[in-house]
Amino acid sequence: MKDLDRRSFLRSSATVAAGVSVLSVPGIAASALSPNDRIRAAVVGVRGRGRSHISCLHQMAKDNVELAALCDVDEKTLNERAGQCEKDFGIKVRKFNDMQQVFDDKDIDVVCFGTPNHWHALGTIWACQAGKDVYVEKPGSHNIFEGRKMVEAARKYNRIVQHGTQCRSSYFIREGIRKLHEGLIGDIYMARGIAFKVRNGIGKLKELPTPSWLDWDKWLGPAPKKPFARLRHRDWHNLWNYGNGEIGNQGVHQLDVIRWGMKLDTHPDKVQSMGGTYVHDDDQETPNTQVVAFQFNDRNVLVQFEVRHWYTNHEAEMGDEYPFVDKRNVVGVIFFGTEGYMIIPDYSSYHTFFGRERQPGPSGADPRDPMADLPHFQNFIKSVRSRKPSDLTAEIREGHYSSTMNHLANIAYRTGRTLDFDPKTERFIDDDEANAHISRDYRAPYIVPEEV
């Protein structure tokens, strides 16, 4: 079936499929799987985070997981990754340059998305409609509307959808959050997340002929039609049409940990954000320096987040004594309680300090697992086998709520004022300008549907 015909069919059949068992669509059956049942996986988007997906899936070969296919619209990178799989792992993977080919393949059970942000939601929805389970990189969505549609698609098609905030699968961070919930540092009144990462300027946007090895139309997908430019292809995190800035790149990890640690199971009611692009004379659109505050009306707590992009100090010993890797950048979360504070300075450790003297307390760290990628994939595969979304450590609903925080921060930055948000309707109160950023104008046929 041609791409457009297939999409039209999926959209028109959505309401029919709502009441049909998962057994009636391609992919894994609704009943729990045996560990002996082979799970065949495809990775879509293999240049950046997709490399980690490839590594983790290969490491799970002993658990009867097969890295079966790779997909990318960049033919050069696709061939390079497939060659590495054959050379390093001794496996020959199938190659696709269109994700629709992956969805049509009945032998593929799960799809792992490492694409740019603007493709996360539509790819996930299509995969759910095709009966595939999904691992999707953070932030799950490019805007608030998309996040809600991802949750709806996972529910409607009974799919297992894991969000790529892998801190939730770290043994020691899970231990630290459990101790927070048990009251280790007393009552938590504030949390602060930071992303201080030295980032060079991205240069000026120069439009060029599209390289022969790249399907630029498919790369753009839902985004507006624009000529090829290196900055669009390589530095998309810093351009609004494709990315969400540093707070949506790194910051969503820390915002997710904050929500988890403070048991924030709703959206903020108020957000304010200031910042800009400083130091570099380039064409970056998203702020490279940003300060954000969130208010939750039903909780007497404050949530802060700060992005810095250039030379800076350490904070709470993060980037100094902690963590075990990457001491150049300073990334993490600080929870402030009535008895002390806890820092989570990376993806796999926690440390506590008490009283005026900041006496060290319980801590846990594993330098052998600094990124927690593998346990997050293992949790995903375990949940695919059990068919229980509750087994996921970062189910897509959590991803939607955490991703929405970075969207709210960016909308407040772009409008230049404090915004009031209704968590129930997921809309701003009496603010048409802000509400215009909740979704986007999609480019046919790459349209995120109202009815999934």
- Averaged over 172-182, what is the pLDDT? 98
**CATH fit for domain 171-363+404-435, picks 3.40.50.1370, 3.40.50.2300, 3.30.360.10, 3.50.50.60:** 3.30.360.10
Length of the chain: 452
* pLDDT for residue 327: 73
Cβ–Cβ contacts within 10 Å for residue 430, how many?
8
* pLDDT for residue 257: 98
Least confident of 116-125, 276-285, 359-368: 359-368
User: What Å distances lie between residue 368 and 40, 284, 325, 373, 421, CA to CA?
Assistant: 28, 35, 10, 12, 41
* pLDDT for residue 324: 64
Q: Looking only at Cα atoms, what is the longest distance across the chain?
A: 68
- Which structure tokens are listed for 38? 């082979």
Q: Which residue intervals of the chain bear CATH 3.30.360.10?
A: 171-363+404-435
Q: Which residue intervals of the chain bear CATH 3.40.50.720?
A: 3-167+374-395
| 228 alpha-carbon distance from chain centroid | 25
Kindly give the pairing relationship between strand 65-71 and strand 39-44.
parallel
Q: Of residues 14 and 96, which shows the higher confidence score?
A: 96
pLDDT above 70: residue 31: no
CB 256 within 8 A of CB 167: yes
Tell me how many degrees the CA angle 88-94-99 measures, rounded to the nearest 5. Answer: 120
Q: Which residues contact 374 (CB under 8 A, 6 or more apart)?
A: 56, 59, 60
pLDDT above 50: residue 295: yes
- Averaged over 171-196, what is the pLDDT? 98
Superfamily of domain 3-167+374-395: NAD(P)-binding Rossmann-like Domain (3.40.50.720)
pLDDT in tens, 89-122: 999 999 999 999 999 999 999 999 999 999 999 9
List the 302-308 sheet strands across, edge first. 359-365, 349-354, 340-344, 330-337, 188-196, 302-308, 289-295, 270-276, 419-422, 427-428
User: What Å distances lie between residue 45 and 78, 185, 217, 447, CA to CA?
Assistant: 9, 41, 15, 19
* pLDDT for residue 321: 85
pLDDT-derived band at 25 (thresholds 50, 70, 90) equals very low
* pLDDT for residue 2: 37
Residue 301 amino acid letter:
V
Rounded CA separation 342/262 (Å): 12
pLDDT-derived band at 35 (thresholds 50, 70, 90) equals confident
pLDDT in tens, 302-358: 999 999 999 999 999 998 888 766 778 899 999 999 999 999 999 999 999 999 999
pLDDT above 90: residue 370: no
pLDDT-derived band at 36 (thresholds 50, 70, 90) equals confident
Using left for φ > 0, alpha for ψ between -120 and 50, and beta otherwise, residue 316 falls in left
